[in-house]
Amino acid sequence: MSIFPKDFLWGGAIAANQAEGAWNIDEKGVAITDTTQHGIAKNEHDEEVLPNTFYPSHEAIDFYHNYERDLELMAEMGFKCFRTSIAWTRIYPTGEEESPNEKGLHFYDCLFDKMLALGIQPVVTISHYETPLALHKKYNGWENKKLISLYIKFCKTIFERFGDKVHYWMTFNEMNNTQTIPYAAAAMDLSGSYSHQLSQIYQAQHNMYVANALANKLAKEIMPDAHMGIMLSLSQAAVYPASPKPEDVFGALQLQRRTFVSSDVQLKGCYPGYVKRIWDEYNVKLDITDEELDLIKKYKSEFLAFSYYRSSTFEDGMKIYGDTGGVVGKPNPYLKNSAWGWPVDPLGLRWMCNLVQDRYDCPMFIVENGLGAVDKISEDGKIHDKERSDYLKKHLKQIGEAIKDGCKVIGYTWWGPIDIVSAGTGEMNKRYGFIYVDRDNDGKGTMKRMKKDSFNVYKEIIETNGNCLF
């Protein structure tokens, strides 16, 4: 018998802003990502697109014009699904237009039609670090409740247009990253005292919880058979205490709760007690209404999708910061690091699956997991990326163990099955893909695609439904 379910969703994942390019083509508006030169995770950005300035995402890998061939390569690997996002600014360039941009809608019609023709299910993140820049400048992003209605207008448009083609949806990408990279996750800048910054963070998260509930409500009305999920970074929650010292152990728990508050609210339907203590102790001031709490309680999400790249360790008193990979903690002497300093911890992924199962007993979808590495073309003209293949196999084996533990894992999409621009650093040389793209950090290259050795490794895994791992 196969360990992985027969209908397991094998695939890969990208984000529109890291792959599509075509940043100002066909009436697309400017997104927050379009003003970042060195990745969106640094919370550093220009107020406008500056002339004569290189922005890696502006051309990216030009998936916008190459998606047909790229998807054919995904189908050759045997993909059952492909996760991408719908760039908000392709549909509503500033977010406040009354009518959607038909050219943007047409592109996604063609994209989803190509996937379906290849037997690949579209999996869509509605908002993946692509908030219109105009909404950041006018409202400071999700700090303002005005974004709720604008987001729901966007949802209504894409649900009505693509509801018969897309059946798996996630409302926001890594919403819990509002805690560490607020510009990316919530399109806002923090200011003032620590108390005020916490108020901004929790208000933005609350506004997204309300938007998530309203999107779930709308989906039930327009797409009764759709599956609506949330998406979080569980690398932020994969925190070990640095020692048995009680303060380290309890501090690690508190750090985990910064992530689990988002899933507690959206999967259980109410705020947990521990977050209310934080609000009291730090004098956090929020605008929360009874009507909004009723919506959150009534329209919960169905599944938890998550990213997992690494674990971290917490020591009492340490300063907490993070990036797109998760919390950056104390060095773990039991783990090896990637070329970018990320600890490689496959067992941590099984641990996260079990935590989710015990806490929520809901379906889970691992929609980001991967290894950023330096790839070199060998003398034989090929890329022998054994490190990536080993990372893939070790993590998938632990997912299999989690399934044997009773975890309801419905799918797995490797992050960046084709090389794309790094969200964390803006680099192309930090490569995740099974497919190489000839483009460097300065935007030079032919854009030619080439299979790496890992391409066939993943192909065999999918062909055997994971049986070759055991």
Residues in Cβ contact with 216 at an 8 Å cutoff, skipping those fewer than 6 apart: 171, 228, 299, 300, 301
Q: Provide the pLDDT for residue 213.
A: 98
Q: Which two tokens stand for residue 311?
A: 């674990």
The CA angle 251-254-255, to the nearest 5 degrees, is 90
Please count the other Cβ atoms lying within 10 Å of the Cβ belonging to residue 193. 10
Annotation says 48 is catalytic = no
Question: What is the distance between the alpha carbons of residues 340 and 431, in angstroms, rounded to a whole number?
Answer: 11
> Is the four-CA dihedral 418, 422, 423, 424 of positive or negative sign?
positive
Q: Provide the pLDDT for residue 261.
A: 97
Q: Provide the pLDDT for residue 357.
A: 98
Kindly list the distances between the CA atom of residue 232 and the CA atoms of 8, 334, 364, in Å, as whole numbers in the listed order.
Answer: 20, 26, 11
Question: What is the distance between the alpha carbons of residues 242 and 187, in angstroms, rounded to a whole number?
Answer: 33
Annotate 262-285 with b (16+ C-beta within 10 A) or e (fewer): bbbbbbebebeeebeeebeebebe
Kindly list the distances between the CA atom of residue 191 and the CA atoms of 196, 199, 225, in Å, as whole numbers in the listed order.
Answer: 7, 10, 42
Q: Provide the pLDDT for residue 111.
A: 98
Contacts 24+ apart (CB under 8 A), 343-348: 343/310, 343/311, 343/312, 344/310, 344/371, 344/391, 345/238, 345/310, 345/311, 346/391, 346/394, 346/395, 346/397, 346/398, 347/398, 348/238, 348/308, 348/310, 348/311
Q: Which two tokens stand for residue 36?
A: 């970042």
Q: Provide the pLDDT for residue 1.
A: 72
From 20, 130, 174, 368, active-site residue: 368
| Residue-level pLDDT, tens digit, the chain, 470 residues | 789 999 999 999 999 999 999 999 999 999 999 999 998 877 789 999 999 999 999 999 999 999 999 999 999 999 999 999 999 999 999 999 999 999 999 999 999 999 999 999 999 999 999 999 999 999 999 999 999 999 999 999 999 999 999 999 999 999 999 999 999 999 999 999 999 999 999 999 999 999 999 999 999 999 999 999 999 999 999 999 999 999 999 999 999 999 999 999 999 999 999 999 999 999 999 999 999 999 999 999 999 999 999 999 999 988 876 766 777 788 899 999 999 889 999 999 999 999 999 999 999 999 999 999 999 999 999 999 999 999 999 999 999 999 999 999 999 999 999 999 999 889 999 999 999 999 999 999 999 999 999 999 999 999 999 999 99
